[in-house]
Amino acid sequence: MSMKYLGETFDIHGGGMDLIFPHHENEIAQSEGATGKPFVHYWMHNGYINIDNQKMSKSLGNFFTVRDIAKEYDLEAVRMFLLSANYRNPVNFSRELMEQTVTSLQRLYTARDRLFDTAVDETADDSDVQAQLDGFRDRFNEAMDDDLNTADALGVLFDLARWINVFATGAHTSAAIEAVKARYAELNGVLGLVVKEKKEDFPEEALALLQARKAAKKAKDWAKADAIREELKTMGFAVEDTKDGSKLKKL
């Protein structure tokens, strides 16, 4: 079936460590014996998930699904936990380690959010910012090129987060701030982390006006909707109409 869809030779074949023998060795023997060509270029075998230092299994009663764990933890934290070890190594799951991961993930979000509060000074000398950002990207790529070493890649992200925390204490050009935001989002995005939008705190009055504007637009009362937009503007808030609805943004 694999050769039907991927050809007689393909790049990546994955599976658990327990499938190396006899399953994958037999696949190689059968396929290469039939075609005379290399079957797979790269084999990626993942390690086991252990629960409190015991292999997860139904017989031990320590088996759970992703849906089960999602009832206790944000799945982004679960993703980060699994990325904290190389995929070939076993992962030892415990609630203590998960709590530590939740805290670590919040550190990445805190650094991201601080960028939004960074003071702007268009005369600031930010000539070295791009070179430093490129250095973080190069280190991140080097880790990922090393057999998807996500643990080391996460280490680079935390180094970048610490750098951002210092960067955000100063004043910088808007171009530099946007460059840092973009690079941080780029590298985190490779691992599917820090994907939630920054939550803004808006006054109840402003939120009520936003809802009133939505109602006016639904009723096609464009004059009222425009008037509310202007009222919000005098309060220091802009309205952004997106495909996901209208949102407030501080001016």
From residue 149, alpha-carbon distances to 142, 193, 233 in Å are 9, 16, 48
Q: What is the DSSP letter of 220?
A: T
Are 176 and 211 found together in one domain?
no
Residues 107 and 161: beta-carbon distance below 8 Å: yes
Are 186 and 208 found together in one domain?
no
Domain count, the chain: 3
DSSP assignment string, 156-188? HHHHHHHHHHHHTTSEE-HHHHHHHHHHHHHHH
Q: What is the DSSP letter of 17?
A: G
Domain membership flag for residue 113: yes
Mean pLDDT split into 10-residue runs, the chain, 251 residues: 93 94 96 96 92 80 84 95 94 92 96 93 97 98 97 98 97 97 98 88 87 92 94 90 77 78
CATH number at residue 107: 1.20.120.640
Are 104 and 136 found together in one domain?
yes
Distance in angstroms (rounded) separating the CA atoms of residues 206 and 172? 29
Domain membership flag for residue 246: yes
Are 184 and 243 found together in one domain?
no
From residue 171, alpha-carbon distances to 36, 183, 251 in Å are 63, 18, 18
Domain membership flag for residue 171: yes
Which one, of 103, 34, 43, lies nearest residue 74 by Cα? 103
Which one, of 18, 22, 23, lies nearest residue 48 by Cα? 18
Query: How high is the pLDDT of residue 119?
Result: 93
Intra-chain end-to-end CA distance of the chain, in Å: 57
Query: How high is the pLDDT of residue 138?
Result: 98
Domain membership flag for residue 56: no
Are 160 and 130 found together in one domain?
yes
**Could you list the residue range(s) of the whole structural domain that residue 38 is in?**
1-46
Are 154 and 209 found together in one domain?
no
